[in-house]
Structure formats: C-alpha cells, structure tokens
Structure 1
Amino acid sequence: MTLRKTRFAPSPTGLIHIGNVRTALLSKLYGERFLLRIEDTDQERSREEFVEALMEDLRWLGLAWDEGPHSARAQPDYHQSQRGAIYDEFYLRLAEEGLAYPCFCSATELEVARKVQLAAGQPPRYSGKCGRLSKDEIAARREQGLEPTLRFRVAKDAIVEFDDLVRGPQHFASNDIGDFIIRRADGSAAFFFCNAIDDSLMGVTHVLRGDDHLSNTPRQIMILRALGLAVPHYGHTALILGDDGSPLSKRNGSRSIRELREEGYMPLAVSNMLARLGHHYDSEELLDIQALSSGFRVEHLGKSPARFDPVHLNHWQELAVRAADDEALWNWLLNDTRQRVPELRQSAFLDIVRSNCRFPLEAHQWATALFSDALERGAEVHDIATVAGEAFFQAAYDAAAAHPDNYEAFLEQLKQQSGAKGKGLFQPLRSALTGRLDGPELPKIYAIMEPHRLRMRLAEFARGAQ
C-alpha cells in the first residue's frame, strides 16, 4: 500500500510567515511521509540565508521532513534551480508532440489583448495566434533575435475535473483557460510547470495548499496528463484573514516565525493555534505534533477563510508555558533572567513562571521583583503603604524575623500584632514584597524570596509609611 506523501515547497525569497507555515504544518499532519522541496527558480530573489532560516524555523516547530535537503546549499534532488535539465526534457517532449509551441508576443501585445477582452466582458486568455505560426515564420522570428516563451497547447472544448480534498468536485472549461506559458523567455520554468513535474517525479500523492492556487490546478493536471505522469490528489485550504477581516498581512497581525520566536512564543503554541485555524479538533488540550497528526482530518478543514486571532495564539502560549518541563522553560528564559535567579531557587521560580507568565519578558520582570534589591513602586502601591501605616510593616518585619521559613506562622503573628485581615492584610503585604498588586500566591513569594531581602523590603515600607 502506497504511503500518503505530502510536501512543502516554499520559495526562499524571505522569512516564512504564518500562512506559509500553516501550509507546511497541515501537510506534515496529513502526510504519512513528508517532503521538503526548495523552489528557488527566482534567482534574483532567492537567497541561501532564507533557505537556512526556513529550515531552522521548521525544525524549531518540530516539522521534520522525511525527504529533502539537509543543508541550505543547493542539492540537485531538492532545489529546483538544479533541475533545469529535467524540465528541458519535458519541454522537448511536449514540443515534439505538438503540445507546446514558441510564442513571440510581447508583453505590450498581451496587455492590450487582455484589456480588450475585459472590456468586452470576456475572460482574459491568450488567442493562440503564435500556435498557428509555420516553421519558417518561427525561424524568421528567431533570426530577428526574438526570444520566445513556450506555451502549452490547451485542448479545445474540454472539461478538466478533479475531486478537491477540501472543496469537493471541481470543473474547469479549457476554453476559459487558453494556452498558457510553461517556460519564460529567459528559459526559466513557470511555477506551475516545474511544481507539477516535481510533485509527480518525487512521488507526492497529496498536495495541500492555499486556495489562491486553485486556478493553477487544472493547468497542472493537463500538463501531467499530457506527459503521462501521475497526478496527485489536490486540496485547497481557505486563506487566513487578519484580525480586521482582510487578507493576513503585517498590517493586521501577520508575523514571521522568526519574529514569533524572538517574542518568546513556544513552538507548541504556534503549532496548536495553526492546526486549529480553520480545522476542528475534538480535543481542546495542548497536543504535540504526533497527537495533532493523529487527530487531523482533511474533511474537518473549513471552506471559509479562517481569521487569525492573537488572543487565540496567546491562549495556546499560556498552555504551552504551563506544560513545559523545567529544562525547556529554563532555556526559554532570557539570559539576564537566568543570571538573576539563585541556583537554589530555580525550581521554585520556574513554578511561579508557569503560573503567572506567558512570555520571557514577564518572567524577567518577576525575577527582578523577587531577586533584586531595588523595587519599583507605582503610585497605587505607595498609597496602599501609607494607608497600612508604619506599625503594620514593623509588625510584618518582626514576624518575618521570627519565622523566616514558615509562612503560616509569619502570617498568624502578623494578624495578631497588626489586627489586619482580608484585603487590609494581604494587599499591603503583597505590595511591599513585590511592588505589585497581582501575581503569584503569597506563600510562594514568601518561600522564594531570600529572608534578608524580604525583611529589607518590609523595613523600607515601614520607613516609607512614616
């Protein structure tokens, strides 16, 4: 039985963004074997550093590929820029069989024809006039130094049909497509030609991609059938919209995976959010890649555009931080944060991070509040200290000195000496120890702070309340 083989085929012209990675993730989850191919035929914009970056991002997300390049340097099997000889063989076959022909029409001619067709209410398509040139006419144009494109000759009055994995039965009239370019005048392969050829030659059985490629699919099917090559099953997923309902862009929330990493997002947060973007899972728990794959169903992919919601991403980020083990969480912290945390208090600090932080910067703020001598105090905290009064903080200092390692005994003595209770007890105490009115439970704060620093904070507030 043939394994279901999927692929991700990015163009290395920049850092990969949420939309690109969603395609990679869905393909990884759906496939039993996952292929990575680098489509770097755009030599002006493709960069080796972008290849390295996208592979690093995929590895960070846990999207390991079963087949594909293992370095950023071009490898003939998996970099399209190295496969020109293969495409040339198929161009020759098509031309010899009369299924492709040279086209000498200039860009200006094509644009004028397009505008005329649109003005007449017709779908813009090539007239096919160069397909009627004789051998002598073709030779004459070549002698003039004209470099032609190569067009695929589309059969007239035909219907191209396929069953889309996401959208169901699809039908395209060949007369609405017209003869299309498969090789540019500079000799480079058109995207949908080399893309289709490589999918078939590499044994890709199922292709998941955005619905902006839907119009390419009948062209690719015609090419593969004309060459007698296997045609994959195609599925076209709805595109992602931004938080304002328009196509996702940097303006409305799109970010590169590199940017998400730098902001402190965890890979499981990103993968869980993207896997559920336009796809239904029965489980609402944080799932690893294997579990996401087990629960993935192509029939659960929606046909309507999915909207990227930063709140949704932050929800999964919170779950990912809570689920991280100590080693992963420690490495996730900023270097400056790790330097602030005393070795004996690392485990207790990580426990506080899991319960109170979503990003490394938040963890750094707590490390500063808990392990630094200086403490930032806002106006609200100052007012609370004033209301509580010097006697309250002096009593807290005495209780802390008497019970440095026992929060319950400390709290009981403070209650008896100060007479404070409820909000009047806990709010000034939290303010004095952390400079904040929210955060970890007080027993955890009391246990993690070094006794001398804790007493110093209480003494400072006693003086400040005078």
Structure 2
Amino acid sequence: MTSLPFKSRFSPSPTGLMHFGNLRTALFNVLLAKAHTAHSPQPGVFLLRIEDTDMARSEQEFTEKLMHDLRWLGLTWQEGPAASGTQGPYYQSQRHEVYEQYYQKLLDEKKAYWCYCSEVELAIARKSQLAAGMPPRYSGTCRHLTEAEREAKIAKGLKPALRFLIPDNETIEFDDFIQGPKHFAANDIGDFIIKKADGSASFMFCNAVDDSLMQVSHVMRGEDHLTNTPRQLLILNALKLPAPLYGHMPLILGFDGKPLSKRNGSQSIESLREQGYFPIAINNYLSRLGHHFEHEKLLSLNELGDHFSAKNIGRSPARFDLAQLNHWQKEAIMKSSDGEFWEWVSPLVANVVGDKKDLFVNTFKPNCILPSDVKDWATQILTDSPVWDEEALSHLTQANKELLDHLSQAIESEGDDYQAIVKRLSEALNIKGKALFLPLRSAVTGRCYGPELVKIFPLMGKDALLKRVAIAKQQIKG
C-alpha cells in the first residue's frame, strides 16, 4: 500500500467511557500521522471509525462522549464522523451492505461456510480440547455439511453463523512495524466466525475489510490484537484486498503489575477532565507511556508528533504511574499564564479570594495539581474555618503559647511583613531553623507543608493573621 496516502486509524467500540488504554492507542495513532506529516511532503491522515456492530452494547451516548474526549485532547481526525472523507460511512453499523457483498464472495468461492453449532456444543468441545491439553479451536463440524443436512438444521429453526474456512498447511507471515517479523501456522487457528448468528459482522471481519477499503496504511494497536492479525490477513488475501501494515504495542499495566483496570489506576478521560487535568498534561504523560522521547520538557501535540517514532515504542509493558501524570500536570500548570490559571480555579475559590486575585495566583500556582487542591488551601488560609492536622498540632504543642504570644506581638508591630516578623521572633526567643519555622507554619496554615510563608502572610493580611494566631492558641491543649 506504499502508493496510497499514509493513514493511521482509531476504531473504538462505544460500549463505555474512554480510558487510558484506548486513549493511548488513539494518541499514538495521531502522533504516527503527525510524525509522517513532519518528515514527508505528503501529510499523514488520522481516521476515526466507530466500531458499533455490537448493537446490544453500543450506545450513541458513548460515541458522542468519546468524540468529545478526543476533541478536548486535540486529537482531531481528518477523516471520519463529522469530518471529510469519501470512504464512509464511518459507523460500522451502517456498513451492512458492504459486508454482505464480501460475505457472498467468500461463499461463492467456498472460502466460508455456514455453521449451525450451538453455544453449548462449542463450549463442550472447547472444554474437551483443554482437558486433552490441546489449544481450543473449532473442529470443523459444519465444514462439510451436505445441502440436505443444512436444510434439516434450518427446518429446526437453527440460525447459523458464517465461518471463514482456514486454508490447510499455510504459514501467515508479516513484518510487525513495532515488534518485527511474525509468523503463524494456519493449522493452529481454526475456522473462525466472520458473521454472527444475529446477522452482525464480527470484529475480525469488518475491521479487516474496512481498513482495506478505507485505505488505512498503518494499523497500530495493542498486542492483545496480535493473534487477530493472521486471521485478518487471511480474510484480505481471500478477498484479494490490499492489507495495511500492522504494529502491536505492549499493553499498559496498573501500579500492581496487572492489566490496567479501574481497580489499579485506570480512570476515564471524562473523570480526568472533571478533576481538572490539562489536555497537554495527559498527552505528555501518555505519549511517554511506552515510548521514549529525548526531550523531557512539556511538548505541544505537534512537537510530540515531530519526535514520535514507532521505532521508539518499547517491547515491555508500560506501568501506569499517577505520580508521573501529576508531574506533567504540574509542568502544564507552570506553563499556563496567570490568567489561564485563574480561569481554571476561580469557579471554586473566587468567593473567598476577593480582590487579592494576583497575590492568590502567585502563591498557589506552584503548589497545586488540581483545582480541588487550591480550594482546600483557599479554605484553609482565607476563611475562619481552618483545620489543623495532627503533625501541625504536635508542633504547636511543643512550641507552647509563648511563641504564639510573641507572634501576635510581632504581627501587631510589623503587620504582614513576613521577614520582619521572623526576625523579631528569632531575636525574642533565640531560635531559628525548623524550631522556628515549623511551629510558625503550623500556627498560620494548620499544616507543616505548603506555599511559601513569605507569600501567605501578605495574602492573609494583618487582621486575618491575628485572628488565625488566636484560633491556634485554642488548639493547644492545657
């Protein structure tokens, strides 16, 4: 397919919200097309196709949400639903007539046959094969049914599925553009279903046919699809349709080393958006999850594409790490303008910040990951309802009320001038370092960590500082 345009694709099933695993597949395919655009006179194309043949589980709501997620992340498609393209429709549920033509071709050429085996019969056969130490595959029961036998089964009301007839003693070989040369023995595969008994197309069949008809040049997907590739190559070869190149990425594991799921770190993109993660942070994290970049700085989507290469995709599974996602979120926050930062957090804090917006942004921008963090700090610092954690209370108790009395006096004298207050306390109590700063921070913020006190003091102001010290005194038992 070298004479055709460079085209990657993402073909999700709209049966739920989009999570990290399928998002990374979409992102890598976008970057693959962008990389081609960056290094070739001919632009790469990213195609979106909706795999909604499972009518019982597919929902339009999820289709709309996954497209919204992709657009929010900047992963726009040049061909597909609500975009240009002449090879649609791009919903597989609308391509029934297309598939029927190719089913009939396979039947006419005796490369497929009707199978009347029930689910119970197939389950029993599978169990027997496993018990005998054999790989489970269809035994070919219906391969050689006579016309009379087929008519008898139809008369009983049995609804058949259509199976692809695997050629005997054939080896399927292809060059995986991520993992290298692969080969499979056709005899190990077994005749597989290409049309279900309910009339819907199987994933194996419709994806192979659509990739070819839509002139997809590169199919990059998870390695859980690796064993599908020889089957799809057999289908395309039988139909005399051109095949794309295939590349298979290692899967993402959770923090516990098991396949990524909701239990070990996976979150929906909708959830990440609602929490306040930036698209650029998600893109920078996921683009490095299993792919090596020389640049460790925050990159735009186009810059990520410039430096992306399938050759840099690792062979080992990548492990999801929330700390790394949060690292890129911090990088995105620091790269944002003060105006963008305020727009990001203002819905949660504007009512308590008042006219100190600039001071507030300067104080908390380097000290948060999500808007909820900023809200917690705003409540802690700018309201009369602070909560002291146990460690802060411990430091307050050790310091005793003498330090707080001196702190009140210093604030009365110096206002919110942090440096002047620290100097007075150090001289009056003959203490410095942690012995001074930990109880001071604990008294004012209720925490032993957080934004710089030199910024917090003017943000709070003299009156609020005095009130806070008075409340802190009440926290000391005895």
> Normalising by structure 1, what TM-score?
0.90
Whole-Å Cα distance in 2 between the matches of residues 126 and 63 of structure 1? 40
Q: Say yes or no: does 1:43 pair with 2:44.
A: no
Among 115, 127, 132, the residue aligned to 1:115: 127
Aligned residues: 462
Specify which of 217, 224, 243 is matched with residue 231 of structure 1.
243
Aligned counterpart for 2:386 among listed residues 351, 375, 398: 375
Asked whether the 8 Å contact 2:333–2:365 carries over to 1, the reply is yes
Which residues of 2 match residues 264-283 of structure 1 at below 5 A? Answer: 264-283=276-295
- Name which of 10, 14, 29 aligns with 2:16: 14
- After superposition, the Cα gap between the structure-2 partners of 1:328 and 1:66, relative to the gap in structure 1 and judged at 3 Å, is farther
Unaligned runs of 5+ in 1: none
Paired position in structure 2 for 1:248: 260
Q: Work out whether residues 444 and 472 of structure 2, in 8 Å CA contact, stay in contact via their aligned partners in 1.
A: no
Partner of 1:298: 310
Give the letter for the 1:103 counterpart: C
Residue of structure 1 in register with 2:296 after alignment: 284
**1:384, 1:174 → 2: CA distance?**
72
Check 1:460–1:211 CA distance in 2 against 1; reply closer, same or farther (3 A cut). closer
Q: Which amino acid in 2 is paired with 1:448?
A: L
Distance in 2 between the 1:111 and 1:390 partners? 76
In the alignment, the residues of structure 1 paired with residue 307 and residue 435 of structure 2 have an alpha-carbon distance, to the nearest angstrom, of 50
Larger CA deviation: 403-412 vs 368-377: 403-412
Give 1:27's aligned residue.
29
Q: 1:349 aligns to what? A: 360
Unpaired stretches in structure 2, ≥5 consecutive residues: 34-43
Q: Which residue of 1 aligns with 2:319?
A: 307
Greater CA drift, 345-354 or 238-247: 345-354
Q: Does 1:438 align with 2:422?
A: no
CA drift of 1:388 comes to 4.6
CA contact (8 A) 1:164 1:170 kept: yes
Structure 1 position 62, deviation (Å): 2.3
- The 3 A distance-change label for structure 1 pair 21 and 425 is same
| Range moving further from structure 2, 283-292 or 388-397 | 388-397
Does residue 150 (structure 1) correspond to residue 162 (structure 2)? The answer is yes
Alpha-carbon shift at residue 454 of structure 1 (Å):
2.1
Distance 1:87 1:402, change over 3 A: same
Shift of 1:207: 0.8
Deviations 1:282-319 (A, max 9, x none): 12222222222222111111222222223332332332
TM-score w.r.t. structure 2 length? 0.88
Tell me the alpha carbon deviations over residues 351-384 of structure 1, each in whole angstroms, 9 at most, x when there is no partner.
3323221222221121112211233234554554
Q: Which residue of 2 is the match for residue 184 of structure 1?
A: 196
RMSD (Å), alpha carbons: 2.7
Match of 2:330 among 311, 315, 318: 318
| CA 453–187 in structure 1, closer or farther in 2 if over 3 Å, else same | same
Query: Relative to structure 2, which stretch is displaced further, 404-413 or 344-353?
Result: 404-413
Aligned residues: percent identity?
50
Which segment drifts farther, 316-325 or 212-221? 316-325
Q: Structure 1 segments of 4 or more deviating over 6 A?
A: 462-466
Asked if structure 1 preserves the Cα contact closer than 8 Å seen for 2:277 and 2:370, the reply is yes
Q: Which moved more, 1:140-149 or 1:246-255?
A: 140-149
The alpha carbon displacement at 1:235 in A equals 0.7
Give, as a single letter, the amino acid of the residue that structure 1 aligns with 2:441.
R
CA contact (8 A) 2:382 2:460 kept: yes
Matches within 5 A, 1:122-161: 122-161=134-173
Determine the C-alpha separation between the residues in 2 that align with 1:438 and 1:304: 38
In structure 2, the partner of 1:222 is 234
Question: Which secondary structure state, in structure 1, belongs to the residue aligned with residue 299 of structure 2?
Answer: coil
Structure 1 distance, partners of 2:372, 2:428, is 38
- Say if 1:12 and 1:39, in contact at 8 Å, map to a contact too: yes
Q: Confirm whether residue 162 of structure 1 aligns to residue 174 of structure 2.
A: yes
The superposition leaves residues 109-141 of structure 1 with CA deviations (integer Å, 9 ceiling, x where unpaired) of 333333344444433333334332344443444
Give the direction of change, closer, same or farther, for the CA distance of 1:376–1:118 in structure 2 (3 Å limit).
closer
Q: SS of 1:130's equivalent?
A: coil
Is the 1:334–1:364 contact (alpha carbons within 8 Å) kept by the matching residues of 2?
A: no
- Aligned to 2:113, the other structure's residue is in SS state strand
